[in-house]
């Protein structure tokens, strides 16, 4: 199975930090994701959700996105 997940221009908030999801999807039945800056925790979580759901569900906040259960996402520092 191959699947390319569309990424957007919005910042993705995870663990009170902001990231860009550069690419995500499934290639040869293996989930992948790349973030900037790199966060192995976020990459791992994206891959878990992609493998499980074959998609990424997000909440569109005010100029950012996050996982639905993480809204609202407050930045630190």
Q: Which helix (H) or strand (E) holds 59?
A: strand 59-60
Per-residue pLDDT of the chain (77 residues; tens, 9 = 90+): 898 998 888 999 999 999 999 999 999 999 999 999 999 999 999 999 999 999 999 999 888 999 999 999 989 87
Strand partners, 30: 27
Q: Where are the beta strands (DSSP E) in 1-77?
A: 3-5, 11-14, 17-27, 30-36, 59-60, 64-66
| The dihedral formed by the CA atoms of 48, 52, 53 and 54, expressed in degrees to the nearest 10 | 80
The token pair that represents 29 in the structure block: 């039945």
pTM listed for this prediction:
0.92
């Amino acid at each position: 199975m191959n699947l390319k997940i569309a990424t957007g221009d919005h910042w993705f908030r995870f663990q009170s930090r902001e990231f860009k999801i550069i690419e995500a999807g499934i290639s040869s039945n293996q989930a992948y994701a790349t973030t900037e800056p790199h966060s192995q925790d976020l990459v791992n979580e994206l891959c878990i959700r992609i493998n499980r759901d074959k998609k990424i569900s997000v909440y569109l906040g005010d100029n950012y996105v996050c996982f639905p259960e993480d809204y609202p996402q407050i930045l630190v520092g």
